[in-house]
Homo-oligomer: A and B are copies of this chain.
Amino acid sequence: MKLITRDTDYAVRILCYLSGKKERTVVVEMVRELKIPAAFLRRIAQRLSKAGILTSAKGFNGGFILSAKPRDIRLLDVAEIFQGSFSLNDCLFKRRICPDRKTCFLRRQILDIEKYVLEKFTSLTVGDILAGGSIDGQKKNNQDRRE
């Protein structure tokens, strides 16, 4: 089971890479550095752009650039582009099988987990990922708190 799908994964990489850039960056360059299949990377960049996370420019000096600072790009927003909204309890009502969803204990537990994931993914930003990767430590507090 995957919490993060490949597209999201690639998207995060792309965003991390672009965090180090001040100017627009072209797909071929990203491909060179990130080793992601070109056509796929392009489509991902396009979706990020459409979602407003990247800003793009066509034509000669075109390319992609972050629309916001790394620490203002939340993992949740990125993940939702590719994986839809995070709702973990598709479990039952969809097909109306659970006898009584109001009192369903299992459902409450899953909602709890969902809440936890949501909090993590909301507080986690591209900036955090970058900082955690190189600097390490100290960054732990802002997500060690639930509710």
CA distance A132 to B108 in the complex (A): 9
* Contact of A133 (CB < 8 Å), options: B35, B90, B105, B116: B105
Cβ-defined contact, A109 with B120, below 8 A: yes
A1 touches B120 (CB 8 A): no
Cα A113 to Cα B75 with chains together (Å): 14
Each complex incorporates copies of this chain amounting to: 2
Q: How far is the CB of A8 from chain B (nearest CB, A)?
A: 9
Cross-chain contact B105 with A3 (CB below 8 angstroms): no
Cβ of A91 within 8 Å of any chain B Cβ, yes or no, is yes
User: Which residue of B is nearest A10, CB measured?
Assistant: B97
Chain B's closest residue to A123 (CB) is B109
Instruction: Select the stretch in A19-27, A49-57, A59-67, A81-89 that faces chain B.
Output: A81-89
